[in-house]
Amino acid sequence: MLQKLRRFGYASVALQGLLSAVAPKAGVAVTKRLLGLHFEGADDLEARPWYVRQTRAVGLGMVAMGLAGLLLEDRDEPPADDPTPSTDDD
């Protein structure tokens, strides 16, 4: 079950990163809306161009990390026809 949760985590990070990389201004709008829940005047904030570029770059990194995590999870699985049980004594 823990392996399924890890896969879900990797997939959700990759999806969030994809959304941030493809539409960084939408992510900035969501952040502004969330800030508005706790702070007054958050609607008046404007994202600077460097922040939008940074959001896109972080999104690409999240996609890379999520996909790498998923690939490494698949690699750690023993083959289905392997009769030896895996032991995690490390």
What pTM value is reported for the model?
0.71
Q: What is the dihedral of CA 22, 28, 30, 36, to 10 degrees?
A: 180
Decide: 62 and 14 in contact? Cβ < 8 Å: yes
Q: How far is CA 43 from CA 19, 23, 32, 36, 46, in A?
A: 22, 19, 7, 7, 8
Model pLDDT for residues 5-47, shown as the tens digit of each residue? 999 999 999 999 999 999 999 988 888 898 889 999 888 888 8
pLDDT in tens, 55-67: 999 999 999 999 9
**pLDDT at position 90 over 60:** no
CA 20: distance to chain centroid? 9
